[in-house]
Amino acid sequence: MRWDIFCKVIDNLGDVGVCWRLACALAADGGTVRLWIDDPSALAWMAPRGHPDVRVVAWTAAGAAQEADAAPPPDVLIEAFGCDPAPELVARFAQPAPPGAARRVWLNLEYLSAEPYVERLHGLASPVFKGPGAGLTKHFFYPGFTPSTGGLMREADLAARRERFDRAAWLARQNIPWNGERLVCLFCYEPPALDALLARLEHAGEPTRLLVTAGRASRALPPGPARRGALSIDWLPHLTQTDFDHLLWACDLNFVRGEDSLVRALWAGAPFIWQIYAQDDDAHHSKLDAFLDWMEAPPALRRLHHLWNGMAAGELPEIGPSALAHWRAATAAARDRVLAQDGLLERLRRFVVQKS
């Protein structure tokens, strides 16, 4: 089956991360995949080896017409997050399929949310009334946490790879000195409670090594020495998607941001704090609370999320071993609920077969 995925880089590279994982999963499942992306530069460090069955297309106005004619129209056209695919490709996609061929399917892959509207809107049709795709129908495909949504992306071998993971060996390969202290991953925007977190870790009763990811997290960290009381800090280079997963697997507490890393933190199974992407109308507050409700987050974990996202004021709750053990149990229970369901890839294939 031929798949075309369109990705427009807005900011923070989460859209690239989601689309690359999806492209690789479809290719591993036997599909032929083109990933159209307007700025593929992040893939140089996110996926430096590429994938033999994923063709990355630099989505430019000049090259769109030529690329659209380079291969037959896809069987499935996926526009990620409503990015409006190249009109040249849509025009070819709209041409009648050969006799006996399955009907082509056009999907709008939407943002992840635990809010109730996701179950209502998942799978709904959206007729196209103008442009080169006039007369076609798109369908909304919403990832989610319940059986009535599109599910979550996970690779078929994810559990086996997680089981084989050797934390000490991976840390050594990354040149991260580790003497058994608590490991904390910092992947964030500019959280209001960052200074409070650093102070808490600096004066904690147990040593902590903070692993700071490249980009906005590194820039958000206030200047200071790498050793601050009980806190040691390591600044990481840009990591591949595989090594980002390994980072989350290695740490005892993960601070993550955006959509892709939320899902990867859930699969990692360690306690995590999610910094949600802020929206001007504060719609992200309801989105965060809906996720915490679904997760059945303990009160202290919910409060830390609110403080980290600027939705509350006050002192951070304790993040010692007892708290982490409680939060780890809540994370494991939430992960088990989604592991008992089909993943996004299985639901996507099933949906396409139903509509073709």
CA-CA-CA-CA torsion sign (266, 271, 277, 281): positive
Contact assessment for residue 86 and residue 64, using Cβ atoms and an 8 Å cutoff: yes
Beta bridge partners of 58: 37
* DSSP-assigned states of every residue in 270-333: S-EEEEPPP-TTSHHHHHHHHHHHHHT--HHHHHHHHHHTTS--SPPPP-SHHHHHHHHHHHHH
CB atoms under 10 Å from CB of 176, counted, come to 16
Q: Of the candidates 204, 190, 164, which has an alpha carbon nearest to the alpha carbon of residue 320? A: 204
Is residue 280 part of the annotated active site? The answer reads no
Query: What residues contact 273, with CB distance under 8 A and at least 6 apart?
Result: 253, 254, 255, 256, 301, 304, 305, 308
* Alpha carbon separation from 120 to 41, 92, 175 (Å, rounded): 36, 31, 48
Q: How far apart are CA 325 and CA 101, in angstroms?
A: 54
Is residue 282 part of the annotated active site? The answer reads no
Pick the catalytic residue: 110, 245, 252, 259?
259
Task: Give 146's DSSP letter.
Answer: S
Pick the catalytic residue: 15, 110, 245, 289?
15
Contact assessment for residue 309 and residue 288, using Cβ atoms and an 8 Å cutoff: yes
* Alpha carbon separation from 83 to 7, 10, 80, 236, 273 (Å, rounded): 7, 10, 6, 32, 29
**What's the full length of the chain, in residues?**
356
Query: What residues contact 42, with CB distance under 8 A and at least 6 apart?
Result: 9, 13, 16
Order the strands of the 253-257 sheet from edge to edge.
227-228, 231-235, 208-212, 182-186, 253-257, 272-275
Q: Which residues are catalytic?
A: 15, 259
